[in-house]
Amino acid sequence: MEFDQSTNLLAAIVDSSDDAIISKSLQGVITSWNKSAERMFGYAAEEAVGQHITLIIPPERLSEETDILDRLGRGQRVDHFQTVRRRKDGTLLDVSLTISPIRDSSGRIVGASKVARDITGQKRAETALRESEQRFRVITEASPIMVWMAGTDKLCYYFSKGWLDFVGRTLEQEYGNGWAENVHPEDFDRCLKIYESCFDERSPFEMQYRLRHHTGQYRWILDRGVPRYTPDGVFEGYVGGCLDIHDQKEAAEQIHVAENVTRLMKAQDEERRRIARELHDSAGQTLTVLGMGLAQLVHRAETAAPELAREGKKIEAIVQQLHREIRTASYLIHPPLLDESGLASALRLYVEGLAERSEVSVTLDIADNVGRLPEGMELAIFRMVQECLTNIFRHSGSKTAFIRIARQREDVQIEVRDEGKGMSPERIKDILRRGSGVGIRGMQERLRQFHGTMHIESSDSGTTVIASIPVAEDIRFADHQALPAAG
Ligand SMILES: Nc1ncnc2c1ncn2[C@@H]1O[C@H](COP(=O)(O)OP(=O)(O)O)[C@@H](O)[C@H]1O
Ligand SMILES: [Mg+2]
């Protein structure tokens, strides 16, 4: 009674299992075949029992059975052996087998029980996962985005090839927190704060920092991180994508600097114009009045007190000298003729003044066809020539300077040449890129406003600065009419 009950219970358990449970003799003859075995392999129990187990083994895997029987004979179990079996309809299925020896009451091995689990679904999932990982790798490898992944412990365990190539390091070096060694020390604390607080909140983040390139240069990186979840919503860590934004950032910075320089120069031009006018109109006028008063005084003293008149004449000369100096200062601060008579007159006056004050002999050659140019452009060219001449006095050691301004089709060409000691090509490159003083940089910025270009040719026998500014043909005439030429 008891025996029957437990046998029935066992049979019920065996039948209700999802796994196929089969028993066989040591010769390989099937002795039992449960419901799941019927479902899995397509043979009814009556068809299978009494048949050899090779019924479900594909021909190319027959040798497996010999191995299995061998091990069973030695009393060993076969655990989770993954293989392929065949259904009644000839289709194959992936299975995981666990085979144990069956002993009789005296301990003799009389057969084997075999539990087969259908792992086709699992295999398919594994393949799909492998394929998706493969795809992910191919995509990250091909894209300019550098990808990293971190686990739930905030530590990074994956870096794409792009990242590793960028820093020139191995995955082992970058692993965990290793990657942080290459973050610029000034950016590190800020980024760590963002990373940790967003990570704890599971929120996406975006940050910019400098990362050391394998060349040693720190380059700006834009890094975006988002939390990752399994399909059933379990947090798995973060995945991030980084872009090298160094060049864009630097270009934006350059534009910003250029805009500031332009704004400053405009303000400076305005201020100079104001000071020049103030000097000319206010101090200049006062000196004129003073001069006239003195002249009258001297005239009246000539008969009454000739000695006083002689002293007065000396004072008159000093006042005139002062007047000249103030006018020169005013002209230098802002060339008055520029607005009224144009570039050629203003430059001629300027160069004449220079000849009196310096030992450098300056030759000015302005082609007749230059004419009047837009107001701002004339000032830009005047300032450029002024800066070049100042540089020649200050840096070149040249005793000569040649200025040539001409119009060629749509361009105004400006050339300022000296016969001084010159500059090395590296020095020129450095000055043009970063500028040592504001001089050459300022020229560049002024020219840029008019879409002009500038380059410097230099050797140990002298330097030539050459600039070219596009001018539409009609501008000259339009301005010519708008601004009456000074006589
Ligand atoms: N004509 C020149 N001959 C030799 N060196 C020059 C000449 N013009 C400029 N330089 C060099 O270029 C540098 C930059 O000039 P600039 O930008 O005008 O700044 P600054 O005159 O204030 O030094 C100068 O310091 C000088 O070394
Ligand atoms: Mg200078």
For 420, the token pair is 């001084």
Average pLDDT over residues 10-18: 81
Mean pLDDT over each residue of the chain, to the nearest integer = 88
What is the fold of 358-487? Heat Shock Protein 90 (3.30.565)
Question: Cα–Cα distance between 156 and 195 in angstroms, integer?
Answer: 12
For 329, the token pair is 């200062």
Check pocket membership of 374 for ligand 1, CB cut-off 6 A: no
In the beta sheet, which residues pair with residue 223? 207, 242
In the beta sheet, which residues pair with residue 412? 407, 469
Check pocket membership of 395 for ligand 1, CB cut-off 6 A: yes
Confidence check: pLDDT of 477 > 70 = no
Between the CA of 395 and the centroid of ligand 1 the distance, in Å, is: 6
pLDDT at 153: 94
What is the fold of 125-244? Beta-Lactamase (3.30.450)
From 384, 393, 395, 440, give the residue whose CB has the most ligand 1 atoms within 8 Å, as the site to mutate. 395
Helices 246-278 and 306-333 pack at an angle, to 10 degrees, of 160
CATH architecture, domain 13-118 = 2-Layer Sandwich (3.30)
Check pocket membership of 397 for ligand 1, CB cut-off 6 A: no
Check pocket membership of 335 for ligand 1, CB cut-off 6 A: no
Confidence check: pLDDT of 48 > 90 = yes
Work out the pLDDT band at 437, boundaries 50, 70, 90. low
Cα–Cα distances in angstroms (integers) from residue 305 to residues 290, 291, 302, in the given order? 20, 19, 6
pTM, to two decimals = 0.54
383 with 446: CB under 8 angstroms? yes
Matching CATH topology for 13-118 and 125-244? yes
pLDDT at 245: 94
pLDDT at 277: 83
Average pLDDT over residues 237-249: 94
Question: Using alpha carbons only, how large is the chain's radius of gyration in Å?
Answer: 47
Between strands 235-244 and 361-366, the pairing is unpaired
Tell me what percent of the residues of the chain surpass a pLDDT of 90: 53
Question: Cα–Cα distance between 396 and 390 in angstroms, integer?
Answer: 10
Check pocket membership of 436 for ligand 1, CB cut-off 6 A: yes
For 358, the token pair is 């310096």
- Atom 22 of ligand 1: nearest residue by CA position: 437
Work out the pLDDT band at 359, boundaries 50, 70, 90. confident
CA 22 from centroid of its chain's CA atoms: 65
Confidence check: pLDDT of 263 > 90 = no
Domain range summary for the chain, segments of one domain joined by +: 13-118, 125-244, 358-487
